[in-house]
Amino acid sequence: MSEIVKTVSRIFAPLIIVFGIYITLHGHLTPGGGFAGGIIVAGAIILLVLAFGGEKERLIQERRTTSRLESSGILLFWLVGSLGLLIGGIFFLNFLGKGIPFTIFSSGIIPICNIAIAAEVGGAISTILLALVLFER
Amino acid sequence: MSYIPLFIILPLFGAFVLSLVRTRRFGDIFANIINLSLFILSLIIIRFGTIVYKIGGWEPVNGIPIGIYWVKDGLSTLMLIIVNLIALMSTIFSVNYMERFTEKNRYYCLFLLMLAGMNGVILSGDMFNLFVFLEIAAISSYSLVAFGTESEELEAAFKYQVMGTIASSFILLGIALLYSYTGTLNMADMARVIAIKNSESGILNSVSSISHFQLVNFVCGLFIMGFGMKAAIVPFHAWLPDAHPSAPAPISAMLSGVLIKALGVYVLIRIVFNITGMTPVFSNILLVLGTLSIMGGVVSAIGQWDFKRLLAYHSISQVGYIILGIGLGTPLGILGGLFHLLNHSVFKSLLFLNSGAVVYATGTRDLKQMGGLNKRMPVTGNSSFIASMSIAGVPPFNGFWSKLIIIIACIQANRIGFAIWAIIGSILTLASFMKVQRYAFFGPLNEKWKGIKEVPGFMRVSMVLLAILCIGMGLLLLPQVREVLLNPAVEVLENGIEYAKTILL
């Protein structure tokens, strides 16, 4: 890619990632949440891969990492749901303290679920993109 | 702690862990342990009555449910047992069969996701939750059909995916219309609201009353299209003969054995009987569609020379029997339909596993090239003989009893024409399976197959167990045994829209 594209993506990619993390962490307070935040972070990764490319071996390594990230995210989500079953006897019970509404540490397990969903969605979208980049017959 | 959520939690846990771990032996053992425990759980829950499980502990407010409900009643118990039984047999079979494919743990991961989706569809008491689980099961089945990644399999999977997505969009549109009309997504609450509006519009008989019945009928039409496509009833069956033979054999057994029933037949009858209420119009539609499926499936099957494709066409025909029996709406017809659903799962998955064993040993699916395999593969040959006689409805085996009940129910309900079509379909089925037995397993041994051996141990175990079930399942009709499993399921459908009262209390 040209120097303009590389420079612009170098400046904007970190900002996009920070914005994605913000959307994820404030999922229980503002519009958005884990899914939107994960997509935004994956968008930054797509931007970087398209602008800078990379060696094939390195991209395969990256895909393995994002794939693991995806699996761990969904496993974390499962764990949150099952802990409710273990602690309170009900699947997806909100077993943490609810806190004061409209503050960042509130609403029990919802922020944790949002983080898990962000890891899952971001990992999945990046894995799909890397698989398409690496695809050959 | 209740057992109900474990049906979703355990397979999801297995799928997520297996997507991280790559060791082959671990995958085999882990997937089998999970499926075995699921099957045992499904046997344990028989002794409980109706259980309503509220996720996250969200209790109803003023009698109106706000959370997601999972409901276990007689019908879901029956479905859970059969789904988890066939899943267990298929994973036992996969231990040896899937050795030839790469990425075996990915296979188990998708398999367990599909199982979680099916268990979720069966347990869910919430329309949108049901749709989500239906998509989980359907999307994992699309990728499982393409698992071999040869061009033929990819083509079949693409066709399956397009048709499946069209079906899902019909279903989603129907759910959206019902939601906007009733203002609730809970299935029991929906049934209550529809019943109230039914009686209101009966009294008023105004313009709005016409639109009420128009809306309910339109939604039911959408559901018959959508779930009919998932269940492969005849006008909507075109994807099945490509998709089911292309999958690996244990997956074909799952798709034909339980997926089309859990996603198609079960949800359709749950909605038509328990939510909108059965009317004579729907009864007639189901009867005609069922008969069309019986004849269309079996007539297309007779000319086939591809073993698995022939079996796939027979799935269409046998689902027709289930729809015919349940469409009658009489207690005996429902009993026959549900019993045939149970039996068909067992013998059709056994037949698909047999075809998988033949492919494993010889590498071909063409019936003309086989011949005399019984001499080299006695376990496969004999178990497929038992399954063929079951599906054709020969007396001591299970298929006979359910077909007999369906035919008697047709005659009792004064639908003699449909009974005659059912008998003709059964005779044609017998003819087509005589052909399979004659060309594949009996007759002189083809020179090419002198060197082949019987398939490995785990494959034999699952085939033998299913064959024993084929012989023994007629016993489920004995009065005391029937009280445990079949009668509670029939009662749920017989009660119709009284379903709402048992759930909402």
Contact A78 B56 (CB under 8 A): no
ipTM > 0.95?
no
Tokens read off for B253: 């057994």
Angle between helices B416-436 and B307-328 (to 10 degrees): 160
CA distance B113 to B136: 7
Cβ partners under 8 Å of residue B23, min gap 6: B105
| pLDDT score recorded for residue B205 | 54
On whether any CB of chain A is under 8 Å from the CB of B106, the answer is no
| pLDDT score recorded for residue B49 | 83
Helix H or strand E encompassing B51? strand B51-54
Tokens read off for B209: 């009353």
Contact B5 A75 (CB under 8 A): no
CA distance B49 to B487: 12
CA distance B348 to B308: 11
Band (pLDDT 50/70/90 cuts) for residue B501 is confident
Residue B209 has pLDDT above 60, yes or no: no
Q: Is B1 inside a domain boundary?
A: no
- Does residue B126 come out as left (phi exceeding 0), alpha (psi in the -120 to 50 range) or beta? beta
What average pLDDT does range B375-384 have in this prediction?
Answer: 88
* C-alpha B10 chain-centroid distance: 21
Residue B256 has pLDDT above 60, yes or no: yes
CA distance B340 to B391: 10
What average pLDDT does range B192-197 have in this prediction?
Answer: 87
Cβ partners under 8 Å of residue B278, min gap 6: B272, B329, B496
CA dihedral B54, B59, B60, B66 (to 10 degrees): -60
| pLDDT score recorded for residue B227 | 93
CA distance B38 to B49: 19
Contact B54 A90 (CB under 8 A): yes
| Look-up of token digits 């069209």 | B166
| pLDDT score recorded for residue B93 | 92
What average pLDDT does range B385-405 have in this prediction?
Answer: 89
Q: Are B83 and B122 in contact (CB under 8 A)?
A: yes
Contact B9 A94 (CB under 8 A): no
SS3 B505: coil
| pLDDT score recorded for residue A91 | 86
Band (pLDDT 50/70/90 cuts) for residue B312 is very high
Band (pLDDT 50/70/90 cuts) for residue B208 is low
Amino acid at B70: W
Q: Is B44 inside a domain boundary?
A: yes
* C-alpha B45 chain-centroid distance: 20
Amino acid at B501: K
Q: Are B313 and B301 in contact (CB under 8 A)?
A: yes
For chain A, what is the largest distance between any 2 Cα atoms, rounded to a whole number of angstroms? 58
Q: Is B398 inside a domain boundary?
A: yes
| Chain B neighbors of A94, CB-CB under 8 A | 56-57
CA distance B60 to B126: 14
Q: Is B221 inside a domain boundary?
A: yes
Residues of chain A below pLDDT 70: 136-137
Domains of chain A, residue spans: 3-134
| Chain B neighbors of A79, CB-CB under 8 A | none
What average pLDDT does range B133-162 have in this prediction?
Answer: 91
Q: Specify the pairing of strand B69-72 against strand B51-54.
A: antiparallel
DSSP label of B190: H
Q: Are A98 and A108 in contact (CB under 8 A)?
A: yes
B455-459 contacts, C-beta under 8 A, 24 or more apart: B455/B96, B455/B357, B455/B360, B455/B361, B455/B377, B455/B379, B455/B380, B456/B96, B457/B96, B458/B92, B458/B93, B458/B95, B458/B96, B459/B93, B459/B96, B459/B97, B459/B353, B459/B356, B459/B357, B459/B360
pLDDT digits over B10-58, tens only? 999 999 999 888 888 898 999 999 999 999 999 998 888 888 988 888 8
Residue B279 has pLDDT above 60, yes or no: yes
CA distance B90 to B112: 11
Quote the minimal CA–CA distance from A95 to chain B in Å.
9
Residue B1 has pLDDT above 70, yes or no: no
| Look-up of token digits 């979208």 | A125
Helix H or strand E encompassing B155? helix B151-182
Band (pLDDT 50/70/90 cuts) for residue B102 is confident
DSSP label of B454: P
Best B20, B59, B70 residue to mutate vs chain A (most A CBs within 10 Å): B20
Q: Structurally, how many domains does chain B consist of?
A: 1
Contact B16 A89 (CB under 8 A): no
List, in sequence order, every beta strand (DSSP E) within chain A.
none
- From the list B1, B19, B55, which residue is nearest A89 (CB)? B1
Q: Are B70 and B53 in contact (CB under 8 A)?
A: yes
CA distance B17 to B20: 5
| pLDDT score recorded for residue A104 | 84
Determine which of A59-63, B133-137, B203-207, B438-442 has the lowest per-residue pLDDT on average: B203-207
Residue B210 has pLDDT above 80, yes or no: no
Band (pLDDT 50/70/90 cuts) for residue B466 is very high
Q: Which of residues 55-114 of A touch B (CB under 8 A)?
A: 67-68, 70-72, 74-75, 78, 81-82, 84-85, 88-94
Q: Are B346 and B466 in contact (CB under 8 A)?
A: yes
Q: Are B295 and B308 in contact (CB under 8 A)?
A: no
pLDDT digits over A23-46, tens only? 999 988 888 888 999 999 999 988
Contact B5 A91 (CB under 8 A): yes
| Chain A neighbors of B16, CB-CB under 8 A | 71, 74-75, 78
CA distance B97 to B103: 13
Please spell the DSSP secondary structure of B206-262, one letter per residue.
SHHHHHHHHHHHHHHHHHHHHHHHHHT-GGG-TTHHHHHHHS-HHHHHHIIIIIIII
What average pLDDT does range B246-269 have in this prediction?
Answer: 91
**Percent of chain B residues topping a pLDDT of 90:** 50
Tokens read off for A14: 């970190």
Please spell the DSSP secondary structure of B86-122, one letter per residue.
HHHHHHHHHHHHGGGSS-HHHHHHHHHHHHHHHHHHH
Q: Are B305 and B432 in contact (CB under 8 A)?
A: no
On whether any CB of chain A is under 8 Å from the CB of B16, the answer is yes
Domain hosting B427: range is 6-504
| Chain A neighbors of B2, CB-CB under 8 A | 89
- End-to-end alpha carbon distance in chain B: 21
Q: How does B420-441 read in b/e, with b if 16+ C-beta sit within 10 Å?
A: ebbeebbebbbebbebbbebbb
| pLDDT score recorded for residue B409 | 93
Strand partners, B124: B70
Helix H or strand E encompassing B404? helix B398-412
